[in-house]
Amino acid sequence: MFGKVIKITVVAIAISVVAGTVVRAENLTGALISAYRNSGLLEQNRALLRAADEGVAQSVAGLRPVLNYAINANYSSITDTTSSNLQLSASMMVYDFGRSQLRVEVAKENVLSLREALVGVEQKVLLRAVGAFVNVQRDMSIQGLQENNVRLITQELQASKDRFEVGEITRTMVAIAEARLAASNSALAAATGNLAMSREEYRAAIGHYPNDLAPLPALPATAKSLDGARSVARRHHPDIAQAKKAVKIADLNVAIAAAGIMPSLRGSANAMVDQDGNDSQSIGLSFSGPIYQGGALASAHRKAAAQRDASRAGLHMAGMNIDQNVGNAWARLSVADAGVHASEQQIRASRVAFRGVREEASLGARTTLDVLNAEQDLLDAQAGQISAQTDRYVAVYNLLGAMGLLTADHLRLGMATYDPAAYYNAVKKAPTHGVSAQGKRLDGLLKSLGKK
């Protein structure tokens, strides 16, 4: 009469057959690979990194000669004559007490800093993908629970109507079952809506809608203690590394500002030929430096020093933030573990209570409302267990991210990953030709979107 207690599975079937074609379920690794390959956020930050790579090329170019040409043509209405000439000029910084080389070093450190920022973005993309994957599984399971609950209460309502017809129960008991069925249908609609939203998040995070999802793999290893987790985070988290690069950049900027008061030596050469074939050449050296600039140079040095101090404080704050984030992630994982254990105990107790109430109702010692309440308690316990298991799974990956280890390489996804050094190595010597294959691929994508 009251239905069977359904054993809930948290994950979908591994292989399904659709229209005679075997479709393999997508596992978490495949979802993470798809998220990594389809992330517009990663593409955006890779492009920003390539722009920073070009900053190195431009700084290197500042150490090289600069060649220019000029063609001049003039007409005089007074004499009704024209004149023209061709001029070539070259200039080069010979010596500036290391300022140009320091700017190259700043550009290089900026590249290394943005590489760390890219790792941070990668962690966010993968964590979002993990959350999207397990949330779809959670909401599918909860929807299944609610569907089963609707079936059970529908059966109970029909049984109540039958008992009312023979005078065993009152109309009140039937109304209670009808009200509970309406509430169950409302809960099913909410579960269906939650699943629809989770599917949309899955598409945004991973690049396509979910179909069949494979069982979750074993959880990755993290750290054995909170102190161990913090120690790993201090060594590996990209925010720490990026803050260290900011300090080094600030130190270099102080050196550049200090060298600003020093003179510079620049060489130049010029050659010119006019329309009559007359030519002239000249070479020269220019030694120049500041005498008085109203205190601007001293102010620039003080400003650079203040920014260096701010960067050092930023490094300290980054370390404190990482420690706090690891501690929070560790606490969330502990809470999730406790929630899983508690939900298991709750399910065992609720199942025993439901069976007992159902037996007592068959003997007339319990009412329909008692049975429905006991059944609802069991449903809530099962839904709570699904949510607790989801929370624990996400909490482990949150902890990995807080430790700086939530990367494609550390997770061993088994795919080719983006090499941030490839483009840098192609442009670091400031070539004069284009080298961006990524840019061409993005141009093609934009053109295809423009045709739609």
Higher pLDDT, 326 or 174: 326
Residue type, 410: H
Residue at 152 is within a domain: yes
- Cα→Cα distances 70→63, 89, 90, 239, 402, Å: 23, 8, 12, 49, 58
**Confidence at 450, pLDDT banded by 50, 70, 90:** very low
Answer with the residue of higher pLDDT: 16 or 312: 312
> Considering the entire predicted model, what is its pTM?
0.84
**Kindly report the CA angle at 397 between 392 and 401, in degrees rounded to 5?**
140
Residues 167-204 pLDDT 10s:
878 888 889 889 989 999 999 999 999 999 999 999 99
Contact 257, 332 (CB under 8 A): no
Q: What is the CATH number of the domain that holds 346?
A: 1.20.1600.10
Asked if residue 75 belongs to a domain, the reply is no
pLDDT above 50: residue 429: yes
Residues 6+ apart with CB under 8 A from 202: 132, 133, 135, 136, 208, 209, 210
Q: How buried is residue 185: exposed, middle or buried, by Cβ count under 10 Å (0-12/13-18/19+)?
A: middle
Decide: 35 and 128 in contact? Cβ < 8 Å: yes
Per-residue pLDDT of 243-302, as tens digits, reads 999 999 999 999 999 999 999 999 999 999 988 888 899 999 999 999 999 999 999 999
| Partners of 282 in the β-ladder | 270
pLDDT given for residue 136 in this prediction? 96
Q: What is the pLDDT of residues 70-113, one digit of tens each?
A: 999 998 888 888 889 999 999 999 999 999 999 999 999 999 99
The percentage of residues in the chain with a pLDDT greater than 70, rounded to a whole number, is 91
Residue 89 located in a structural domain: no
pLDDT mean over 210-221:
92
Query: Taking residues 203-211, what's their average pLDDT?
Result: 95
- Full residue range of the structural domain in which residue 206 is found: 15-66+98-262+298-412
pLDDT at 15 over 90: no
Q: Is residue 449 in a domain?
A: no
Asked, for residue 199, whether it belongs to a domain, the answer is: yes
Q: How confident is the model at residue 22, as a pLDDT?
A: 47
Q: Is residue 360 scored above 60 in pLDDT? A: yes
Q: What is the pLDDT of residue 11?
A: 34
Q: Is residue 9 part of a domain?
A: no
Does residue 227 fall inside a structural domain?
yes
3-class secondary structure, 260: coil
* Higher pLDDT, residue 180 or 7: 180
Q: pLDDT band at residue 435, thresholds of 50, 70 and 90?
A: low
Q: What type of residue is 366?
A: R
**Range among 32-36, 146-150, 362-366, 380-384 with highest mean pLDDT value:** 32-36
pLDDT at position 12 over 90? no
Residue 440: is its pLDDT beyond 80? Answer: no
pLDDT of amino acid 375: 87
For residue 26, what are the β-bridge partners?
213
The pLDDT assigned to 56 comes to 96
Amino acid 449: pLDDT: 42
Model confidence at 369: pLDDT above 90: no
Q: How many domains does the chain have?
A: 1
The pLDDT assigned to 276 comes to 83
Residue 343 lies in a domain: yes
